[in-house]
Structure 1
């Protein structure tokens, strides 16, 4: 089964993706400006046929794409993932008109998508959103408030925006809207962050939206958000695994060649054991990611738990592996432009976005106790 070993065709496809990322995507990434949307890179993802696969393949294929791209070009991986994250609600819940207008442009790389959930006062508590959607006429609203730490903002062409349509209703009072970037009253600013991909803040000053902009149903937007995150959380783990594998391979090569204390660095037992631990955790994370993806593809009811486990374990593992790799490389790994310097800046954010590690632990515990209660009720 793919959860334990890839089929030959899958392994060959992953190798092809790594080669494409190194030969065609990485040069475009190097020409981009950190913190800005790299439109030529996104367009190339479309030309290579990778963006359409976001909506025609399953969760396992998404994970294989993200891991393979991350191994050779984290910028390409992130560009691909953000197109999927921002546009998946349109694919899954959009009206025919919304889908026909936006999805072809997303998949050919000419329209940039963004997922606008986080707010300054509700980063991890997605049900505590305060962006207000106030009624304006019979089938319209005005959006007023802020979003923060939104990937691709403020340069995206459209945003999947989650706003509160019913006060005091918690998760049951949130609606998802598709908001084009040119909509009156919508402004934004870039944020200078540690990771190199584009992140910004958005301000909504009575931005008009109508029933034609709703994704799904009014007051049911939390399901849209959680359904999207259940798909993408395992693939965040795949992104992390790709970075961990790149760091591990660089460490193997370095320690095998590096002269130290009368032999090679790899001859030191403490070094060899460290590398073994890095490999062990990376492979365990990969298996958890694949298992979560297969759970999603099969429609299993345990998707929230498995997705949270995969995202949590893989991102924590990648942090450990990259940090260990930097330590074993020494000062050279801290030079600007070194692979590990780049990975060290990239690896920290996934433990926070799409639900911080603490949130994932909460989801896991909640699902475990729900399973216990169900068993006891039988």
Structure 2
């Protein structure tokens, strides 16, 4: 990618991905039950080698992957992204035993991963987590390994708004171990779904993806279940989000481009007022605005991805900017696409009706738009202080 224009090989790959999404993955998605994990869809993502790309790619390639899949099949894009989000901490911080047990099955689409950070009282404010990891000398026995002099822990509390819950096979869980105040006292654990005391229930949400709550009633974990070191959990979470935030923006850009292309085709063909909808200046100018905003968002997403791959120190600011602009832009574009289509776009099963439900959640998850603005401002003023 040179100057944020795709090379010929990248264009060809993205075209192949869009075709796979439409021809192979969308039929599987349509057979799935809304709000449930679609295991045949995950298996197909594994067979196509796309889940492997999540773990072997840089941020730029991940963004291309997510944007292209989102254009053709949002369910496939989300299923892929959730596997990456739930298992990336295992890739980066897991032990050899943890990686060996879980990652091959995640890559193959055979095991379902989940990222369990949010709680009923701690969504955007991740440092306010309350899920307690209480020291217990006997908790590690038989579930991990010797937890050391302090033994293991028992997890007690709740998680909420967790994608793939309660059907995931394992969870990356963030709990308060108390090494320090706020973010300094959070640790990350890999918790298999069959641990005693772990239960969950699905939540009926606007979008069709599996989302649920989890209850931890003294769930035992040992030191072999840790991801990284005690007290390092907030770093594990932020490293993961810094990679995936720009690619959430890519997901949004993919939806915006699908809505824009549908609008161009519809307004160019739709007869109205003695001509075509596209002949009306109000319509043409609105489409021009939709296209301009989409392209601006795309450029910012890929600039952030390039910064991540290049090891730039300003990744948090760039990632936040990319997610903010892309998700807000996608909401704007899809909303105006529905308006220009009229009542036909409100009919259940129409592409835009589907996108209208899909596009709302990305402005909230992995840090709401307000949180992204806070991150951007803090990073900007940190730069002023450094100078």
Query: In the alignment, which of 313, 316, 328 is matched to residue 316 of structure 1?
Result: 328
Stretch of structure 1 that moved more, 2-11 or 329-338: 2-11
The aligned counterpart of 1:92 is 92
The aligned counterpart of 1:371 is 383
Equivalence for 2:338: 326
Q: State the partner residue of 1:71.
A: 71
- Equivalence for 2:183: 171
Gaps of 5+ in 1: none
Query: Aligned pair 1:26/2:38, yes or no?
Result: no
How big is each residue's C-alpha offset from its partner over 1:211-237, in whole Å with a ceiling of 9 and x where there is no partner?
Answer: 000001101100000000000000000
Moved over 3 A (4+): none
Matched, 1:158 2:170: yes
Paired residues for 1:91-110 under 5 Å: 91-110=91-110
Q: Is the 8 A contact 1:45 1:80 kept in 2?
A: yes
Asked if structure 2 preserves the Cα contact closer than 8 Å seen for 1:2 and 1:290, the reply is no
1:105-144 equivalences in 2 (<5 Å): 105-137=105-137, 138-144=150-156
- The alignment yields a C-alpha RMSD, in angstroms, of 0.7
How much does 1:167 deviate?
7.1
Structure 1 residues 3 and 310: CA distance shift in structure 2, 3 A: farther
Paired residue for 1:352?
A: 364
> SS state of the match for residue 187, structure 2?
strand
Secondary structure of the corresponding residue to residue 178 of structure 1:
strand
Q: Does 1:273 align with 2:285?
A: yes
- Deviations, residues 76-126 of structure 1 (Å, cap 9, x unaligned): 000000000000000000000000000000000000000000000011100
Structure 2 partner of 1:215? 227
Structure 2, unpaired ranges of 5+: 138-149
Q: Is the 8 A contact 2:179 2:231 kept in 1?
A: no
Task: Quote how far apart the aligned CAs of 1:327 are.
Answer: 0.1
| C-alpha displacement of 1:55 | 1.0
Aligned to 1:189: 201
The separation in 2 between residues aligned to 1:3 and 1:304, in whole angstroms, is 21
Contact 1:3 1:290 in 2 (8 A): no
Secondary structure at the counterpart of residue 88 of structure 2: helix
2:6 counterpart SS class:
coil
Give 1:259's aligned residue: 271
- 1:155-182 CA distance string (max 9 Å, x none): 0000000000007610000000000000
SS of residue in 2 equivalent to 1:215: coil
Matching of residue 62 in structure 1 with residue 62 in structure 2: yes
Asked if the contact 2:180/2:231 (under 8 Å) is kept, the reply is no
How far apart are residue 139 of structure 1 and its match?
2.9
Q: Is contact 1:237–1:310 with CA below 8 Å preserved after alignment? A: yes
